[in-house]
A and B are shown apart, each in its own frame.
Chain A
Amino acid sequence: DIQMTQSPSSLSASVGDRVTITCRASQGIRNDLGWYQQKPGKAPKRLIYAASSLQSGVPSRFSGSGSGTEFTLTISSLQPEDFATYYCLQHNSYPMYTFGQGTKLEIK
């Protein structure tokens, strides 16, 4: 099974900060990775697909990079609405999926 290790598990930042979240795969997964944002009581929302492609309608301050085993999600300038929990999700072993453990982004 492919394991996804996401870090950090929590992050405290201020509006305007640049933040980076990392996911590492236990084996190469090409670019078969997406990033999702989840707010309390809501279903997750897709932000990034194919590791670096921005979902339509998602602000350009979100970006993704990486391939193989290491991936990053970057928010270039945090906005108040960005405080949420973020998950990576691999589907290289489709249809068997693995989520990262999540990163809770909190206001400093």
Chain B
Amino acid sequence: EVQLVESGGGLVQPGGSLRLSCAASGFTFSSYDMHWVRQATGKGLEWVSAIGTAGDTYYPGSVKGRFTISRENAKNSLYLQMNSLRAGDTAVYYCARAQEGYFDLWGRGTLVTVSS
């Protein structure tokens, strides 16, 4: 089955770190650009990071310098290392596959809560 499954979310204190994982199955993971998208409760979607097939990475200003996206093709896995977390980073984090620029496959998401 073609799917993405996120894990690693949880409760973390402000200033803390967390590493999210996304396990891909049913397709050739190494052939796709992959992304992280987040959604705070009751809010809209926000693009968080991207990684190309060659390992090139991209971030919006809101997370640049704090978040690091990576991939391990041998394990069909995508990661998001989140450091210096803030209350505003509280959200459901989705991993998504990009096909010709469009997100055509999403995971179910993992909840990250930043609170003391």
A41 to chain B, nearest CB (A): 9
Q: Is the CB of A95 within 8 A of B33?
A: yes
- Asked if A71 is at the interface of the complex by the 8 Å CB criterion, the answer is no
Contacts of A94 in B (CB 8 A): 101
The B interface is mostly helix, strand or loop, or mixed, namely strand
Q: Is the CB of A99 within 8 A of B103?
A: no
Indicate whether A96 sits within 8 Å of B45 (C-beta atoms), given known contacts A43-B109, A44-B103, A49-B102: no
Contact with B along A28-39 (1 / 0, CB 8 A): 000010101010
Q: Is the CB of B101 within 8 A of A32?
A: yes
Q: How many residues of B contact A (CB 8 A)?
A: 22
CB contact list, A81-96 vs B, under 8 A: 87, 89, 91, 94-96
The 8 Å CB contact of A34, one of B102, B107, B108, is: B102
Of the candidates B94, B98, B103, the one having the most CB atoms from chain A within 10 angstroms of its own CB is B103
- Asked if B72 is at the interface of the complex by the 8 Å CB criterion, the answer is no
Complex alpha-carbon distance, A43 and B45, angstroms: 10
B116 to chain A, nearest CB (A): 27
Q: Is the CB of A101 within 8 A of B58?
A: no
Interface residues of B (CB under 8 A from A): 33, 35, 44-47, 50, 52, 58, 60-61, 94, 98, 100-104, 106-109
